[in-house]
A and B are shown apart, each in its own frame.
Chain A
Amino acid sequence: MIQVPVLTTARLTLRAPGLADFEPLADFYASARSRHVGGPITREQAWRVLAAETGHWTLRGFGRWAVEESATGALVGLVGPWFPEGWPEPEIGWDLMNGHEGKGYATEAAFAALQGAYDLFGWTTAISLVAPRNAASRRVAHRLGASRDGSFTHVRFGEMEVWRHLSPEDLAAGGIEAYA
């Protein structure tokens, strides 16, 4: 298995997911907010999602981080590299837990995760998949400097927009500041 690296940003700590994250994750997956990412689902299914987030690190050598608000320790999201079977290519995914929307946390964590994917895992490109009705997620992709790159139809999630992120070079040359 793998030692999950810890990343920090101005307000957030990105760390390995664990059992302590189950309640906020189950709340998210019980709510209508999860409709763009395969929800709502039962607590039992949400537990398996948490276990799969953890096992993803072993299977791929990378995975999504549990994102904590550094000041409070609250779980605000699951963000980072995601590449289960059937995905068109590795993506940076972001799910914000209930009550943590509207603070720029998804953008802040996803930016750190994208840099992590390039620097720690050697990715040379990255996409994010956005459900067509998920306007909030599209805004995050846009804020990160990603641009639309076609569509992808998934066996379970249906049609999704492909957004391609800035290349490692473009990110190093100025990142989101240069493209804002």
Chain B
Amino acid sequence: MTGSAIPMIETKRLVLRGPEPGDYPDFKATFTSYRARFMGGPLNPYESWMLYAAEIGHWTIRGYGMWMIHDKATDATYGMAGGWKPALWPEAEIAWVIWPEASGRGIALEATHAARRHFYRHLGWQTAVSYIDPKNLDSIRLAERLGAVRDPEAATVDGHDAVYRHPAPAKLEGSQLAHGIEMEIAHYCDPMFKPKGWALD
């Protein structure tokens, strides 16, 4: 697979593109920080670089992977979202990570919603899960806003993670849930919008 073979996804505020060498410093800043504590981090610089290389290699090996999330207007990166299935993962996962300074703006919701739709529409996925550290409340809330529900029957990665199962394509397409997600994203796109409670990724 070549870089140009990684599909590009556009949403209202974002462009999702394959991870590129120039995006690495942003990735490293998050994965060597405390922000990465629910994703196997903080990593040292060597581990962080190897993980970034693995994010890219995942596309070649699986034919799908994690996109880099860019601002449509400025091209700044905000995090990554997409599919993730290294060895030992029981099922393909929909995963996300948002740089700390980009949190609270609904960016993860917008990117993950678009990535999931891509897998359902173009790769024929009939189901998907997210493996989440039970202490990672922001991620659990995002999974729930995406309509995923805890699946206690599903196999976990290592017993320390909770499995959230996403709604199947047929249940999501055109549903009240999908409209609700799109309405929430629309709120976040409105510059005057102030979320109640605290802002969500």
A59 to B52, CA, bound (A): 9
B49 contacts partner chain A, Cβ-Cβ < 8 Å: yes
Q: Are A18 and B61 in contact (CB under 8 A)?
A: yes
- Select which of B46, B50, B52, B61 is within 8 A of A19 by beta carbon: B61
A27-68 CB contacts (< 8 Å) to partner B: 42-44, 46-56, 58-60
Query: B53–A84 contact, CB under 8 A?
Result: yes
Q: Determine if B46 and A42 form an interchain contact, defined as CB atoms under 8 angstroms apart.
A: no
Measured CB to CB, the nearest residue on chain B to A3 is B2
Docked-complex contact A58 and B87, CB < 8 angstroms: no
Contact A1 B1 (CB under 8 A): yes
Instruction: With a 10 A CB-CB cut-off, give which of A3, A43, A47 has the most chain B CB atoms.
Output: A47
A4-26 contact mask (Cβ, 8 Å, vs B): 1 or 0: 00000000000000110010001
Distance of A20 Cα from B8 Cα, bound (Å)? 27
Contact between chains at B57 and A54 (CB < 8 Å):
yes
Q: Determine if B73 is an interface residue (Cβ-Cβ < 8 Å).
A: no
In the assembled complex, how far is the CB of residue B181 from the closest CB belonging to chain A, in whole angstroms?
30
The CA of A33 and the CA of B115, in the complex, are separated in Å by: 40
Query: With a CB–CB cut-off of 8 A, which chain B residues contact A18?
Result: 60-61
Chain B window 19-50, contacts with chain A (Cβ cutoff 8 Å), 1 for yes, 0 for no: 00100100010000000000000001111111
Task: Say yes or no: is A169 at the interface (Cβ < 8 Å to chain B).
Answer: no
Instruction: Indicate if the CB atoms of B53 and A52 lie closer than 8 Å.
Output: yes
Chain A minimum-CB-distance residue to B21: A59
Q: Is there a chain B Cβ closer than 8 Å to A154's Cβ?
A: yes
- Given A54-B56, A55-B57, the answer on whether A155 and B21 have CB atoms closer than 8 Å is no
Question: B45 contacts A59, CB within 8 Å?
Answer: no
Smallest Cβ-Cβ distance to B1: which chain A residue: A1
Question: Given that A44-B87, A47-B88, A50-B61 are contacting pairs, would A86 and B49 also be in contact in the complex, using a CB cutoff of 8 Å?
Answer: yes
Q: Complex Cα distance A22/B85, Å?
A: 14
Q: Which of B57, B87, B88 has the most CB of A within 10 A?
A: B57
Choose one: B55, B57, B89; the contact of A53 (CB below 8 Å).
B57
Measured CB to CB, the nearest residue on chain B to A61 is: B21
Contact of A56 among B1, B53, B89 (CB under 8 A): B53
Set B51, B56, B86: member contacting A58, Cβ < 8 A? B56
B58 touches A51 (CB 8 A): yes
Name the A residues within 8 Å of B4 (CB-CB).
Answer: 1
Nearest 10 Cβ contacts at the A-B interface: A54-B57, A55-B56, A47-B87, A51-B57, A55-B53, A85-B49, A55-B57, A51-B54, A52-B53, A44-B88
Q: Which residues of A contact B (CB under 8 A)?
A: 1-3, 18-19, 22, 26, 42-44, 46-56, 58-60, 84-86, 154-156
